[in-house]
Amino acid sequence: MKSEERMITKTRRRYTDEFKAEAVRLVRDSAQPVAQVARDLGIADHLLYRWRVEQRQADSQGHTRESMRTEQEELVRLRRENATLKQERDFLKRAAAFFAKESQ
């Protein structure tokens, strides 16, 4: 029975950008520590610390958290695409060398 209980997985909770922004605002505007605000909101304190860092980074660069996340996702996509293109290029180089050798 205990092994079955351990097999139950928790689903990941998703928070809206508005909730995250409001939580960070609560930390900034209140005199309470981050851990206390996190407990009051029913979230893990490490999440609130991360959201606060992300908000500071976004503010310092003149962006919103959403636009920074979008840029990060695009960067990941472009890096994957770049790796695929490099593999295709290398394959075509080897194929061209092979056929050049065969035609001699």
- Give percent of the chain above pLDDT 70: 91
Query: What CATH number does domain 1-62 carry, 1.10.10, 3.40.50, 1.10.287, 1.10.20?
Result: 1.10.10
Q: In this predicted model, what pLDDT tens digit does every residue of 26-45 receive, in sequence order?
A: 999 998 999 999 999 999 99
Within 10 angstroms of residue 54's Cβ, the number of other Cβ atoms is 15
Domain ranges of the chain: 1-62, 65-104
Whether 10 shows a pLDDT value over 90: the answer reads no
Q: In this predicted model, what pLDDT tens digit does every residue of 53-99 receive, in sequence order?
A: 988 888 888 878 788 888 889 999 999 999 999 999 999 999 999 98
Long-range pairs for 27-33 at CB < 8 Å and ≥24 separation?
27/52, 28/52
Per-residue pLDDT, 3: 56
